[in-house]
Amino acid sequence: MQQSVMAGAGLFTAANVKAAINGNDADNKTFNLNYGFHDGMFENHAGNNFLDQIQFAYDMGFRSIEDNGMMGRSVEEQKKIGDKLAKLGMVMGVFVITTDNWHWKTTLTTGKQEWTDKMVKDCKTAVEVAKRCNAKWMTVVPGNYERSLSQDFQTANVITALRKGAEILEPHGLVMVLEALSDNPDLFLRHTDQTVMICKAVNSPACKFLFDMYHMQRNEGNIINNLDAAWDEIGYLQIGDNPGRNEPTTGEMNYRNIFKHIHSKGYKGVLGMEHGNAKPGKEGEMALIKAYRWSDDFLNND
């Protein structure tokens, strides 16, 4: 009885949130694009359980998730998340192919066999994780700049390692997506042209570009033009306004216009919500959903 009451309370809360955001339209209206939230983004409304957050996000119209730390979850939890997504008809976005830590230190750029071996090992593990949670895309970061080697030698080392990873993932229809980052100046992979060149050199459908618009805005700007230039190599998109790395409408980026452009190109993949909430608590979560509703309303912005 207690569980039934709790479930009813959760549904009532979701209905109230939908009514507050959409007026009298309380159904789970989807978006024009496929935005993928992450664990913790709706915890004030749905609680700490990720499965409950997935249900809440579905009720709000979202149809994807992403989870950087999926490889660190238990096998049982990976399966539960995959089963929940399958039941709701939702898509699993990226998880990170982990080695030692997120930004690694100096790794694939060095050409050292130990790092290539770790890459191969992690890709094999990622195949099994992907099966459990119905994933297709995995984030890869080559690591830090190796100052004892030239840029070209480092690039060759990265390409060699990524080809070995692609050989493992490609037969399973999986894709590693290379993320160019802006977090610190020691990172090797930072720019659109650099990432596109590496993807073309690896020459595999299992190696594509993760175009995180927050990082690319910080590193180079010119988002729409660079999206167009890199389009054939882009396998996944991520969102974050700048400054602040929060939801659209909180910074300088015109995401309503960017989303309209992405939609016009026929993009059907996931746009990962790789950012924080600008405001805390339930108020912040509602503000985030409203920001996505407004930014996604680009078809009425002619």
Q: pLDDT tens digits, residue range 68-114? A: 999 999 999 999 999 999 999 999 999 999 755 544 566 899 999 99
Q: Is the pLDDT of residue 12 over 50?
A: no
pLDDT value at residue 28: 66
Residue 286 confidence (pLDDT) above 80: yes
Q: How far apart are CA 252 and CA 217, in angstroms?
A: 10
Residue 21 belongs to some domain of the structure: no
What are the tens digits of pLDDT across the range 144-176?
999 999 999 999 999 999 999 999 999 999 999
β-partners of residue 176 are 138, 207
Question: Measured in whole angstroms, how far is the alpha carbon of residue 168 from the centre of its chain?
Answer: 22
Assigned domain for 10 exists? no
9: in domain: no
Residue 4 in domain: no
Say if 1 falls within a structural domain. Answer: no
pLDDT level of residue 301 (50, 70, 90 thresholds): low
Residue 107: predicted pLDDT: 86
Arithmetic mean of pLDDT over the chain: 91
Tokens read off for 87: 């039941």
Of 203, 174, 213, which Cα lies nearest the Cα of 94? 174
Structural domain includes residue 110: yes
Residue-number span of the structural domain to which 225 is assigned: 30-300
* pLDDT class of 300 with cuts at 50, 70, 90: confident
- The number of distinct structural domains making up the chain is 1
User: HEC string of the chain?
Assistant: CHHHHHHHHHHHHHHHHHHHHHCCCCCCCCCCCEEEECCCCCHHHHCCCHHHHHHHHHHCCCCEECCCCHHHCCHHHHHHHHHHHHHHCCEECCEECCCCCCCCCCCHHHCCHHHHHHHHHHHHHHHHHHHHHCECEEEECCCECCCCCCHHHHHHHHHHHHHHHHHHHHHHCCEEEEECCCCCCCECCCCHHHHHHHHHHHCCCCEEEEEEHHHHHHHCCCHHHHHHHHHHHEEEEECCCCCCCECCCCCCCCHHHHHHHHHHCCCCCEEECCCECCCCHHHHHHHHHHHHHHHCCHHHCC
pLDDT of residue 43 exceeding 50 = yes
CATH code at 113? 3.20.20.150
Residue range 175-181: average pLDDT?
97
- What tokens were used for 224? 């729409």
- Token pair 């509602």 is found at 286
In this structure, is residue 240 part of a structural domain? yes
